Amino acid sequence: MATKPLTAILPQNKQTQNPTTIEQEKRIEEVLSYTILLSDRVDEAVKQAKSFKFECLEVSKKVGNLCQMLRAAMRLSTSTTAGISFYDCPLRRIAAEVSKNLEKSLALLKKCKRRSVLYLHHQQIKNEVRDISLMILKR
């Protein structure tokens, strides 16, 4: 029994696709909605942060402004009556950079939770400072 080669089964256009063309096929609304979702997740992580609250609040302010701009870009890209058309390629590139930076921010903010390694390390240092200060005061 002869089997057909895999190239005979798949349509010709599916054989030549690589990951970059698949990424380009995503609609701009999908790309922007992913970055908006990430910014919302960063905002939730800021609310859960227990250490470095001031720095986390600064990140939250900047991400809030960024989220407002992303939502405005989403509205402009989906409206047909605006008369303004976005250049697709630069907007995709910027959205990819924004999502990459938001993912990094989210990873850092998750380390600021109460039970994270960073928090435990911070607590250990705080306890050591307290112990040393007690030793100095007893003399």
Angle formed by the axes of helices 28-48 and 53-78, nearest 10°: 160
- Over range 8-16, report the average pLDDT: 46
Position 40 scores a pLDDT of 92
* Percent of the chain whose predicted confidence (pLDDT) is above 70: 67
Please state the pTM of the whole predicted model: 0.62
Residue 121 in any domain: the answer is no
Residue 107 in any domain: the answer is yes
Q: Which tens digits make up the pLDDT trace of 79-133?
A: 755 555 566 777 788 888 888 999 998 988 888 776 666 667 677 778 888 777 7
What whole-number distance in Å separates Cα of residue 78 and Cα of residue 72?
10
- pLDDT over threshold 90, residue 41: yes
Contacts (Cβ under 8 Å, ≥6 apart) of 8: none
Average pLDDT, the chain: 75
- Over range 37-49, report the average pLDDT: 90
- Top pLDDT among 118 and 72 is at 72
Range of the domain at 90: 26-112
DSSP assignment of the chain: -PPPPHHHHS-HHHHT--HHHHHHHS-HHHHHHHHHHHHHHHHHHHHH--S-HHHHHHHHHHHHHHHHHHHHHHHHHH-SSS-----HHHHHHHHHHHHHHHHHHHHHHHTTSTTSHHHHHHHHHHHHHHHHHHHHHH-
- Over range 53-60, report the average pLDDT: 86
Which among 107, 130, 128 is positioned nearest to 117, based on CA atoms? 107
* Domains identified in the chain, total number: 1
